[in-house]
Amino acid sequence: MPDTVRVRYAPSPTGIPHVGNIRTALFNWLFARRNKGQFIVRIEDTDRARLVDGATEAILESLRWLGLDWDEGPIGKNGDEKGEYGPYFQSNPHRLAHYSEIAQQLLEEGKAYDCYCTPEELSDMRKAQQKRGEPPKYDGRHRGEPSLRAKHEAEGRPRVIRFASKVAGETTFKDLIRGEISFQNSLLDDFVILKSDGFPTYHLAHIIDDRAMAISHVLRADEWVSSTPRHMMIHEALGWNPPAYAHLPIILGPDRSKLSKRHGATSVLEYRTQGFLPQALMNFLALLGWSFDDKTEIFTREQLIEHFSIENINKSGAIFNTEKLAWMNGVYIRDMDTSELTTAVCERLDRDLPEEISRPLNTAYLGRVVPLVQGRLKLLAESRELTEFFLSDDLRYEPALLLQKNMSEDGTLQALTEAEACLNQLPDFGAATLETKLRALAEQLEIKTGQLFGTLRIACTGSKAAPPLFETMAVLGRQRCMDRIARAIVLWRTYTNRI
């Protein structure tokens, strides 16, 4: 391993980053931090036709949210950067000039050539190859014909520069995960390295930048395995030693097909919107293709850094299991410090609650509510559903829910009215007192405790599924509970025609 590990995350801003893309960033970040190296962010924005407004900001925001800090790269919306190896945008004129210079060098050395094929000619070429049962690829028709350059330019044909690939033998490289891999050179074509708009393709640009930025290791998606022979040829043509390559396993959906939107959210920022915690998503993504052993699943950030190694990255695809992610997020929520979770819940409720609930929210009051729901929360997005009845008295439920199994209509009315009187006489409104008195009331009414408690749960919360009844009532307070029971009595009388 080189003395200094330098890795890069080099996304193309052609869309919002998906989890597979960010998993690549995470593995690079962990490798850098484990080896006390540098993690560089570089924006590969040479595919001008596919650029998406806001994509670069979304990429950087995704990294920030997950806590993947970078040592070099863009740091602001105004093109600000940090690091000694910039610029970190490939579209920067300084970078473009360097790509053009290297492409011209390869031309002059006979290792690349001008190609003037029109889009129509390329399309006809592919169709003819497919008709003959051949794999579609460029057939090298403009290789070795510089005498026609003036004619083609006079015709106004688009010009690209193609690399002159080897036509015989094989290209072999060592992958740090998969071992030695070989490709027959006859299967490769003369690929474009500089497009007609003057921008380089990925094949040329990333090699030049990796060299300029002293990148030691390239950890990237396995879809680039088949392109690596091309990259090795370019390194050889330029007389450069390539960095070490490691191609990460593909992420699959539960049906073992490539992960896509039909499997659920695929954007990291979508998961933030849904209420996942960054530390839980980081933990989950780290286990997509890497493992420490066959049993440990929960890791702190520091433990991931301590244990991460390329040797423990799997070759086979990793299954993205949304249910497991939700379970893991619940584990993290249950383990959170209550005050920290209260802050997160307040932020979520401030955004999700209806406008009629007054702001600012009472954080001290919510500090008593959150411990009651902490064990049931799997996503922060569930905060409103589990806590709204603590904050709004506009309870909406079907009156029939007040009637418990084997209870009569008169018995339900009696339970509500007796409970109202009982609560009014309590010396204090703590959970212990509530439980003692209400259990005694159920015995007095000769009904099961579950029947009384079920009716009161609906009356006080509007829901069958609520936190522990007595603790909930204690937090709601005496007056609020009595008001809600009084409204339940009116509702029940109206529903049963007992007005």
211-248 residue pLDDT tens: 999 999 999 999 999 999 999 999 999 999 999 999 99
Q: What is the mean pLDDT of residues 443-467?
A: 96
292 lies in the same domain as 432: no
Q: Which residue has the tokens 């309590």?
A: 426
pLDDT of residue 119: 84
Residues 6+ apart with CB under 8 A from 473: 429, 431, 434, 456, 460, 481
Give me 139's structure tokens: 């057939």
Task: Indicate if the pLDDT at residue 447 is higher than 80.
Answer: yes
23 lies in the same domain as 148: no
pLDDT of residue 265: 62
pLDDT of residue 469: 97
Query: What does R_g of the chain's alpha carbons equal in angstroms?
Result: 32
Do the domain assignments include residue 328? Answer: no
- Tell whether pTM > 0.85: yes
Confidence grade of residue 117 (pLDDT, cut at 50, 70, 90): confident
242 lies in the same domain as 111: yes
Domain end call among 248, 268, 285: 248
Give me the chain's average pLDDT, please: 93
Domain count, the chain: 4
Give me 232's structure tokens: 């090795």
Q: What is the mean pLDDT of residues 6-17?
A: 94
384 lies in the same domain as 404: no
Task: Give the count of beta carbons closer than 10 Å to the beta carbon of residue 392.
Answer: 14
**What is the phi/psi pair of residue 242, to 5°?**
-75, 155
- The predicted-structure confidence for 262-298, as pLDDT tens digits, reads as follows 766 678 999 999 999 999 999 999 999 999 998 999 9
Measure the CA angle with vertex 387, ends 384 and 391; round to 5°: 100
pLDDT of residue 404: 96
Do the domain assignments include residue 450? Answer: yes
User: What single-letter DSSP state applies at residue 201?
Assistant: P
pLDDT of residue 155: 80
- What pairing do the DSSP bridges indicate for beta strands 217-221 and 244-248? parallel
High-pLDDT (> 70) share of the chain, %: 98
Do the domain assignments include residue 438? Answer: yes
Q: Which domain holds residue 362?
A: 336-391
Q: In which element (H, E) is residue 156 found?
A: none
Task: Indicate if the pLDDT at residue 106 is higher than 80.
Answer: yes
Q: In which element (H, E) is residue 183 found?
A: strand 179-184
CATH number for 425: 1.10.10.350
Task: Give the count of beta carbons closer than 10 Å to the beta carbon of residue 478.
Answer: 15
Name which of 118-127, 247-256, 351-360, 406-415 the model is least confident about. 118-127
pLDDT of residue 2: 60
Do the domain assignments include residue 331? Answer: no
Distance from C-alpha of 441 to C-alpha of 438, rounded to nearest angstrom: 5
Residues in the chain: 499
Q: Which of 174, 258, 261, 464 is catalytic?
A: 261
Do the domain assignments include residue 19? Answer: yes
User: What single-letter DSSP state applies at residue 248?
Assistant: E
pLDDT of residue 146: 66
User: What single-letter DSSP state applies at residue 89?
Assistant: B
Task: Indicate if the pLDDT at residue 27 is higher than 80.
Answer: yes
211 lies in the same domain as 108: yes
Do the domain assignments include residue 208? Answer: yes
Domain end call among 352, 368, 391: 391
Distance from C-alpha of 422 to C-alpha of 470, rounded to nearest angstrom: 14
Number of H helices, E strands in the chain: 19, 13
234 lies in the same domain as 173: yes
239 lies in the same domain as 155: yes
Q: What is the mean pLDDT of residues 299-311?
A: 97
Looking at per-residue pLDDT, the higher value among 215 and 146 belongs to 215
Measure the CA angle with vertex 249, ends 244 and 62; round to 5°: 90
Give me 467's structure tokens: 């936190």
pLDDT of residue 389: 97
CATH number for 168: 3.40.50.620
Q: How far is CA 193 from CA 120, 126, 266, in A?
A: 20, 20, 31
Q: In which element (H, E) is residue 290 found?
A: none
Confidence grade of residue 203 (pLDDT, cut at 50, 70, 90): very high
Looking at per-residue pLDDT, the higher value among 135 and 468 belongs to 468
Q: Which residue has the tokens 């688009």?
A: 158
Distance from C-alpha of 433 to C-alpha of 250, rounded to nearest angstrom: 57
**Contact status, residue 488 vs residue 457, Cβ threshold 8 Å:** no
CA atoms within 13 A on the CB side of 388: 18
DSSP 168-209: SSEEEEEETTTEEEEEEGGG----EEE-TTSPBPHHHHHHHH
Active site residue 261: yes
Do the domain assignments include residue 325? Answer: no
Phi-psi region of 82 (alpha: psi -120 to 50; beta: other; left: phi over 0): beta
107 lies in the same domain as 241: yes
Do the domain assignments include residue 56? Answer: yes
- What pairing do the DSSP bridges indicate for beta strands 38-41 and 6-9? parallel
Give me 320's structure tokens: 């993205």
440 lies in the same domain as 463: yes
pLDDT of residue 264: 66
Task: Indicate if the pLDDT at residue 121 is higher than 90.
Answer: no
Task: Indicate if the pLDDT at residue 1 is higher than 60.
Answer: no
- The predicted-structure confidence for 57-66, as pLDDT tens digits, reads as follows 999 999 999 9
Domain end call among 248, 265, 298: 248
- Residue 3 class from Cβ within 10 Å (0-12 exposed, 13-18 middle, 19+ buried)? exposed
pLDDT of residue 402: 97
Q: What is the mean pLDDT of residues 181-201?
A: 94
124 lies in the same domain as 223: yes
Task: Give the count of beta carbons closer than 10 Å to the beta carbon of residue 220.
Answer: 22
Measure the CA angle with vertex 382, ends 295 and 282; round to 5°: 35
484 lies in the same domain as 429: yes
Name which of 46-50, 326-330, 412-416 the model is least confident about. 46-50
Distance from C-alpha of 376 to C-alpha of 380, rounded to nearest angstrom: 11
- The predicted-structure confidence for 383-429, as pLDDT tens digits, reads as follows 999 999 999 999 999 999 999 999 999 999 999 999 999 999 999 99
127 lies in the same domain as 192: yes
